[in-house]
């Protein structure tokens, strides 16, 4: 009887763990590992399957990753459609504002994957920005204008998201303390304090983008309306965006040149000339991992379970490629227009208190339930005496420890197919020129330009020494 009880409780605990945990990290690796080395065919196959089979709570993140792979695979029309599907989900989430979990809500909250991934501010802004690029590449200028305006809206809406995160962190921190005083004690645990300090340290040496404003988006918005202006209003719109981009990316001379054109009101290129913009996406966005640690729920009590807190960690991936653009005797190096690591780290740091409060709240609630079960089993064993009661008590303790330690998970959902950073170079060349693209001193790739007033070359080097790809977009035809 005791053996059967032990087996039943262990199986129940393990079934409970498997039923409330997510396999997202392993699923993400199917796409990320092949994408990071430039095997876009394998990555596309995996991303397509995951997006088709995605659970509703994970749908947004799988669509964003699929769109990245479609874009890298030179399927701009498909990528634009996928990003439109992601945008529809963003809009649906915004129609039902995010609310913080109350003390009762935290009691029911056991797994961050049970909540929908609503998209971070930089996800939303970059999705609209990349969609505009894809639509331009597909020759759909009117739709690209809509996407560019949406990108600007998403950028302006980032301030609201930042305010929401601060509110949620404050409310949930208070709710967790009300639910059980041990939440405050757990927050002072050495491992929790060290993890929180590490999250803050991430942003120390990275550029700061106030309110999550993305200078790449601001520049593209400005360049789009500068070259495709339909009146003075568009030129002024371009000037404002380029002015903001120049403040956020002060080292990018291409932005300054465009701003000078917008401020003067002159045509960006003369007849017989082409302005060529070389966008270079290099490296890999930060890796998200789980930092999981355990501690006794109540000291000096044999009935107390061991509980686990699982927190996310962000690790920038070393390695970024440098590109040099040449035409005739003119050479221009790509200059950073946005550091994606900085965007990710800033938002990670701002939302970290929410992840911490929810992880602690979940651990405390599980600890309370496990402690009650352990106490009840121990009291039953004391009353009944004998070996059977002792086995039942031990089985309960083992089962509850398995549950409280193994069911803890950190939310690792993130747009992992983004680059580490994006650089920009700008040259003015005779129409129909051929330019050279050289990455990290490797052999120069020759690229023939179409006969257009303005052209964007979207280049990507996913890893140091990895494959180099180029896609051509006409920003302004003759």
Among all chains, which residue has been given the structure tokens 């059977």?
Answer: 388
Using an 8 Å Cβ cutoff, are 331 and 324 in contact?
Answer: yes
Cα gap 265→263, rounded to integer Å: 6
pLDDT above 70: percentage of residues in the chain: 79
Asked if the model's pLDDT at residue 383 lies above 70, the reply is no
| pLDDT higher at 306 or 230 | 230
Nearest C-alpha neighbor of 427 from the set 447, 442, 410, 399? 447
Asked if the model's pLDDT at residue 463 lies above 90, the reply is no
Q: What pLDDT digit, counting tens, does each position of 130-152 carry?
A: 999 999 999 999 999 999 999 99
Token couple for 276: 């060529």
| H-only helix segments in 73-140 | 76-95, 103-108, 121-137
Using an 8 Å Cβ cutoff, are 159 and 339 in contact?
Answer: no
Mean pLDDT check: name the lowest of 77-81, 91-95, 394-398.
394-398
Mean pLDDT check: name the lowest of 329-338, 363-372, 398-407.
398-407
Q: What is the mean pLDDT of residues 323-349?
A: 95
Asked if the model's pLDDT at residue 62 lies above 50, the reply is yes
Among all chains, which residue has been given the structure tokens 């797994």?
Answer: 111
Token couple for 216: 């790449």
Asked if the model's pLDDT at residue 193 lies above 90, the reply is no
| pLDDT higher at 181 or 402 | 181
Mean pLDDT check: name the lowest of 5-19, 87-101, 280-294.
5-19
Asked if the model's pLDDT at residue 186 lies above 90, the reply is no
Q: What is the mean pLDDT of residues 49-76?
A: 95
Q: What pLDDT digit, counting tens, does each position of 35-53 carry?
A: 999 999 999 999 999 999 9
Burial (Cβ within 10 Å: 0-12, 13-18, ≥19) of residue 189: middle
Among all chains, which residue has been given the structure tokens 């051929």?
Answer: 434
Give kind and range of the element (H or E) at residue 45. Answer: helix 40-53
Count of domains in the chain? 1
Asked if the model's pLDDT at residue 252 lies above 90, the reply is yes
Q: Please, which pLDDT band fits residue 427 given cuts at 50, 70 and 90?
A: very high
Of 54-68, 109-123, 386-400, where does the model show the most confidence?
A: 54-68
Q: Please, which pLDDT band fits residue 188 given cuts at 50, 70 and 90?
A: confident
Give me the sheet containing 421-430, strands edge to edge: 335-339, 421-430, 273-282, 454-461, 469-476
Q: Give the E-state strand segments of 329-468 in sequence order.
A: 330-333, 335-339, 421-430, 434-439, 445-448, 454-461
At residue 8, the pLDDT reads 45
Asked if the model's pLDDT at residue 92 lies above 90, the reply is yes
Domain range holding 283? Answer: 2-476
Token couple for 250: 């002060």
Token couple for 194: 């060290």
Cα gap 414→123, rounded to integer Å: 9
Nearest C-alpha neighbor of 75 from the set 55, 52, 47? 47
Token couple for 46: 């995996």
Burial (Cβ within 10 Å: 0-12, 13-18, ≥19) of residue 214: buried
Q: What is the mean pLDDT of residues 369-379?
A: 63
Of 156-170, 186-200, 221-235, 402-416, where does the model show the most confidence?
A: 221-235
Using an 8 Å Cβ cutoff, are 258 and 243 in contact?
Answer: no
At residue 205, the pLDDT reads 85
Using an 8 Å Cβ cutoff, are 62 and 51 in contact?
Answer: yes
Mean pLDDT check: name the lowest of 309-318, 385-394, 432-441.
385-394
Question: What is each CA distance from 418 to 68, 192, 421, in whole angstroms?
Answer: 7, 29, 9
Average confidence score pLDDT of the chain: 84
Give kind and range of the element (H or E) at residue 274. Answer: strand 273-282
At residue 178, the pLDDT reads 62
Q: Give the E-state strand segments of 25-77 in sequence order.
A: none
Pairing of strands 454-461, 330-333: unpaired
Asked if the model's pLDDT at residue 241 lies above 60, the reply is yes
Phi-psi region of 328 (alpha: psi -120 to 50; beta: other; left: phi over 0): left
Asked if the model's pLDDT at residue 159 lies above 70, the reply is yes
Phi-psi region of 241 (alpha: psi -120 to 50; beta: other; left: phi over 0): alpha
Q: Please, which pLDDT band fits residue 391 given cuts at 50, 70 and 90?
A: very low
Say how many C-beta atoms besides its own lie within 10 A of residue 110's C-beta: 21
Cα gap 204→65, rounded to integer Å: 28
Cα gap 411→191, rounded to integer Å: 18
Burial (Cβ within 10 Å: 0-12, 13-18, ≥19) of residue 11: exposed
Under DSSP, the state recorded for 286 is P
Phi-psi region of 72 (alpha: psi -120 to 50; beta: other; left: phi over 0): alpha
Q: What is the tally of helices (H) and strands (E) in the chain?
A: 15, 11
Classify each residue of 272-290 as buried b or exposed e, where b means 16 or more C-beta atoms within 10 Å of its C-beta: ebbbbbbbbbbbbbbebee
Under DSSP, the state recorded for 423 is E
Cα gap 449→452, rounded to integer Å: 8
């Amino acid at each position: 009887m005791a053996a059967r009880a032990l087996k039943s409780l262990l199986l129940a605990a393990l079934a409970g763990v498997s039923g409330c945990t997510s396999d997202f990290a392993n699923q993400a690796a199917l796409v990320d590992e092949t994408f990071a080395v430039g095997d876009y065919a394998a990555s596309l196959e995996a991303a397509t399957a995951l997006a088709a089979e995605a659970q509703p709570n994970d749908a947004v993140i799988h669509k964003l990753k699929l769109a990245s792979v479609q874009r890298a695979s030179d399927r701009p029309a498909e990528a634009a459609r996928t990003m439109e599907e992601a945008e529809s989900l963003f809009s649906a989430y915004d129609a039902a504002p995010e609310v913080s979990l109350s003390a009762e809500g935290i009691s029911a909250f056991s797994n961050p994957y049970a909540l929908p991934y609503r998209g971070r501010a930089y996800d939303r802004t970059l999705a609209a920005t990349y969609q505009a690029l894809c639509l331009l590449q597909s020759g759909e200028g009117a739709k690209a204008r809509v996407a560019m305006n949406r990108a600007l809206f998403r950028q302006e809406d980032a301030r609201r998201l930042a305010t929401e995160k601060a509110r949620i962190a404050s409310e949930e921190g208070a709710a967790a303390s009300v639910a059980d005083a041990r939440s405050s004690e757990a927050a002072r645990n050495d491992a929790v304090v060290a993890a929180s300090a590490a999250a803050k340290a991430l942003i120390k040496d990275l550029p700061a983008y106030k309110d999550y404003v993305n200078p790449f988006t601001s520049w593209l918005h400005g360049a789009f309306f500068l070259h495709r202006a339909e009146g003075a209003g568009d030129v002024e719109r371009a000037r404002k965006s380029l002015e903001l981009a120049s403040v956020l990316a002060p080292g990018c001379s291409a932005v300054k040149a465009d701003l000078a054109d917008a401020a003067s009101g002159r045509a960006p290129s003369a007849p017989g000339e082409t302005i060529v913009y070389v966008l270079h996406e290099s490296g890999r966005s930060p890796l998200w991992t789980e930092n999981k640690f355990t501690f006794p729920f109540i000291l000096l009590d044999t009935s107390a379970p061991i509980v686990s807190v699982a927190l996310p960690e962000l690790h920038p991936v070393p390695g970024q490629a440098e590109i040099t653009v040449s035409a005739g005797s003119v050479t221009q190096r790509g200059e950073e227009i946005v550091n994606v690591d900085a965007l990710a780290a800033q938002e990670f740091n701002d939302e970290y208190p929410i992840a911490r409060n929810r992880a602690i709240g979940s651990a405390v609630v599980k600890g309370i339930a496990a402690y009650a079960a352990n106490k009840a089993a121990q009291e039953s064993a004391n009353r009944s005496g004998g070996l059977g009661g002792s086995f039942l008590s031990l089985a309960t303790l083992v089962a509850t420890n398995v549950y409280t330690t193994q069911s803890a998970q950190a939310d690792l959902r993130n747009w992992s197919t983004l680059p580490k950073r994006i650089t920009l170079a700008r040259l003015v060349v005779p129409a129909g020129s051929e330019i050279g693209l050289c990455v990290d001193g490797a052999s120069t790739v020759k690229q023939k330009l179409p006969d257009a007033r303005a052209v964007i070359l979207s280049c990507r080097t996913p890893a140091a020494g990895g494959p180099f790809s180029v896609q051509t977009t006409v920003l302004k035809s003759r």
